[in-house]
Structure 1
Amino acid sequence: MTAAIASVSPNELADWLEDLEEIALIDVREQGDYAQGHLLFASSLPLSRLELMVERAIPRKSTRIVLCDQGDGDLVVRAAVVLSQMGYTNLYQLAGGVVAWSDAGYRTFSGIYVPSKAFGEIVEHYYDTPNIDPDALARMVQSGDNVKIFDCRPKLEFRRMSIPGAVNCPGGELLLRLPEILPSRETVVVVNCAGRTRSILGAQTLINGGISNPVMALRNGTMGWQLAGYEVDRARDNVVSMPGKAGQAQAKDLAQAWAEREAVRSISWDTYLRMGQDADRTTYLFDVRDIEEYQAGTPEGAVLAPAGQLVQATDSYVGTLKSRIVVFDDKKVRAIMAATWLAKAGRDEVYILTDAPHEVCHAPATGPIGPAPVISQDRVMSPSKLAAQLDDGSVWLLDLATSPEFLNGHIAGAHFCIRSRMMNALSKLDPEKDIVLTSPDGVLAAWALPEVAAVWPRRVHLLSGGTQGWQLSGMALDKGFQETLEPPTDLWHTPSSEFGGGKAAMAEYIEWETGLIPKLKGEPGLRFRLPY
Structure 2
Amino acid sequence: MLQGDSPFALIDVREAGEFNNAHIPGASLISRRDLEAQIAAAVPHAATPVVLCDDDARRATFAAATLGRLGYSYVSVLDGGINLWVTQEYPTEWGVNVPSKDFGEKVEVVHHVPEIDAVELRERIDRGDELVILDTRTPEEYQRLCIPGGRSVPGAELALRITDITKDLSDDATVVINCAGRTRSIIGTRVLQRMGLPNVVGLKNGTAGWSLAGYSLESGADRLELPSVSEDGIAAAEAYADRLAEEDGVRYLDADGLQELMARRSDETVYLVDVRTSEEYAAGHIPGFRWFAGGQAVQRSDEVAVVKNCPIVFCCDGRARAAITASWYRQIGHKDVYAVHGGTGEWQRAGHSLDQGHSQMQPLGLDEAQSKVRVLSASEMPSASEAAIIFVGTSQQFAEAHVPGSRWVPRGWLETQVADFAHDKSAPVAVTCVDGVASTFAGATLADEGYADVAVLEGGMRAWRQAGHGIEQGLTGVMSTPADVVPAGTDRGYADMMNYLRWEEELGRKYES
State the match for 1:346 in structure 2: 333
Which 5+ residue runs of structure 1 have no aligned equivalent? 1-15, 521-530
Counterparts of 2:407 and 2:134 in 1: how far apart (Å)?
40
Q: CA 1:449–1:371 in 2, change beyond 3 Å: closer, same or farther?
A: closer
> 1:326, CA displacement in angstroms?
0.3
Contact 1:35 1:492 in 2 (8 A): yes
Map residues 5-24 of structure 1 onto 2, 5 A cutoff: 16-24=1-9
> 1:223, CA displacement in angstroms?
1.4
Counterparts of 2:178 and 2:48 in 1: how far apart (Å)?
38
Q: CA 1:158–1:519 in 2, change beyond 3 Å: closer, same or farther?
A: same
Q: Which runs of 4+ in 1 moved over 6 A?
A: none
State the match for 1:440 in structure 2: 434
Identity %: 32
State the match for 2:368 in structure 1: 373
Counterparts of 2:91 and 2:437 in 1: how far apart (Å)?
37
State the match for 2:111 in structure 1: 127
Instruction: Say which of 503, 506, 509 aligns to 1:512.
Output: 503
Contact 2:241 2:324 in 1 (8 A): no
Residue deviations 1:383-442 (CA, integer Å, cap 9, x gap): 2323xx34x853444333334444555556554431012245534436576332233332
State the match for 2:81 in structure 1: 97
Instruction: Say which of 173, 179, 194 aligns to 1:208.
Output: 194
> 1:298, CA displacement in angstroms?
1.5
Secondary structure of the structure 2 residue equivalent to 1:326:
strand
> 1:467, CA displacement in angstroms?
3.2
Q: CA 1:368–1:353 in 2, change beyond 3 Å: closer, same or farther?
A: farther
State the match for 1:88 in structure 2: 72
Map residues 346-495 of structure 1 onto 2, 5 A cutoff: 346-354=333-341, 355-356=346-347, 357-361=353-357, 363-364=359-360, 368=363, 371-376=366-371, 379-386=374-381, 389-390=382-383, 393-407=385-399, 414-423=406-415, 425-429=417-421, 434-455=428-449, 459-470=453-464, 473-475=466-468, 481-483=474-476, 485=478, 487-494=481-488
Contact 1:150 1:191 in 2 (8 A): yes
Q: Given the alignment of the two structures, is residue 265 of structure 1 paired with residue 251 of structure 2, yes or no?
A: yes
Larger mean Cα displacement after TM superposition, 334-343 or 478-487: 478-487
Secondary structure of the structure 2 residue equivalent to 1:299:
coil
Q: CA 1:174–1:377 in 2, change beyond 3 Å: closer, same or farther?
A: same
Q: What is the number of residues matched between the two proteins?
A: 497
Contact 2:109 2:508 in 1 (8 A): no
In structure 2, what residue type is equivalent to 1:363?
S
Secondary structure of the structure 2 residue equivalent to 1:24:
strand
Aligned-residue CA RMSD (Å): 2.8
Map residues 155-304 of structure 1 onto 2, 5 A cutoff: 155-182=139-166, 183-184=168-169, 185-210=171-196, 212-246=197-231, 249-250=234-235, 252-262=237-247, 263-278=249-264, 280-304=267-291
State the match for 1:113 in structure 2: 97
Using the size of structure 1 for normalisation, the TM-score is 0.85
Counterparts of 2:259 and 2:461 in 1: how far apart (Å)?
39
State the match for 2:494 in structure 1: 503
Contact 2:162 2:233 in 1 (8 A): no
Contact 1:155 1:237 in 2 (8 A): no
> 1:241, CA displacement in angstroms?
1.9
Contact 1:123 1:200 in 2 (8 A): yes
> 1:251, CA displacement in angstroms?
5.2
Counterparts of 1:479 and 1:293 in 2: how far apart (Å)?
41
Q: CA 1:160–1:368 in 2, change beyond 3 Å: closer, same or farther?
A: same
Using the size of structure 2 for normalisation, the TM-score is 0.88
Secondary structure of the structure 2 residue equivalent to 1:352:
strand
Instruction: Say which of 294, 297, 303 aligns to 1:310.
Output: 297
> 1:253, CA displacement in angstroms?
3.6
Counterparts of 2:392 and 2:100 in 1: how far apart (Å)?
29
Secondary structure of the structure 1 residue equivalent to 2:368:
coil
Counterparts of 1:238 and 1:397 in 2: how far apart (Å)?
45
Counterparts of 2:442 and 2:79 in 1: how far apart (Å)?
27
Counterparts of 2:37 and 2:209 in 1: how far apart (Å)?
35
Contact 1:159 1:236 in 2 (8 A): yes
Counterparts of 2:242 and 2:358 in 1: how far apart (Å)?
35
State the match for 1:152 in structure 2: 136
Residue deviations 1:121-172 (CA, integer Å, cap 9, x gap): 1111111100001111010011010011111111222223222222122111
Contact 1:111 1:492 in 2 (8 A): no
